[in-house]
Amino acid sequence: KNQVEQSPQSLIILEGKNCTLQCNYTVSPFSNLRWYKQDTGRGPVSLTIMTFSENTKSNGRYTATLDADTKQSSLHITASQLSDSASYICVVSAQSGYSTLTFGKGTMLLVSP
């Protein structure tokens, strides 16, 4: 069964600090991995998307890494801001098509002043 596990479930950090969120998956055959940011009461917004051959991808202060051998990904947030407070969702796509996305439960990040 395809699964995506995210850790930690929730995290509180001080403004200006860095943090790393983890995503482990067992989706096969793998196509790509996406990170989304979801503000409370809003829809998810795409941050990055990585295919099998990509090890790292950045989007401003967000940097995602992918280790396809160990089936792990991380999202690193640098110099956190209050607006980074949100749920971060890891989504893995199987090669069989766009209808076979597996969503993680998300990591709830709170950036405290």
Partner 1 sequence: DGGITQSPKYLFRKEGQNVTLSCEQNLNHDAMYWYRQDPGQGLRLIYYSQIVNDFQKGDIAEGYSVSREKKESFPLTVTSAQKNPTAFYLCASSTLGNQPQHFGDGTRLSIL
Residues that bind partner 1 (CB under 8 A): 4, 31-32, 34, 41-46, 49, 89, 93, 95, 97-99, 101-106
Provide the minimum distance between the beta carbon of 57 and partner 1 in the complex, in angstroms, as a whole number. 12
For tokens 């991995």, the residue is 33
Nearer to partner 1, 41 or 113 (CB): 41
Q: What is the DSSP letter of 42?
A: S
Which CB, 27 or 80, lies closer to partner 1? 27
Which CB sits closer to partner 1, 80 or 104? Answer: 104
> In sequence order, what are the residues at sequence separation of 6 or more whose Cβ sits closer than 8 angstroms to the Cβ of residue 24?
4, 5, 6, 7, 71, 72, 73
- Reading the block at residue 19, the tokens are 């943090």
Minimum distance from residue 113 beta carbon to partner 1 (Å): 26
Query: Does residue 38 contact residue 46 with C-beta atoms inside 8 Å?
Result: no
Rounded to the nearest whole angstrom, what is the least distance from the CB of residue 3 to partner 1 in the complex? 10
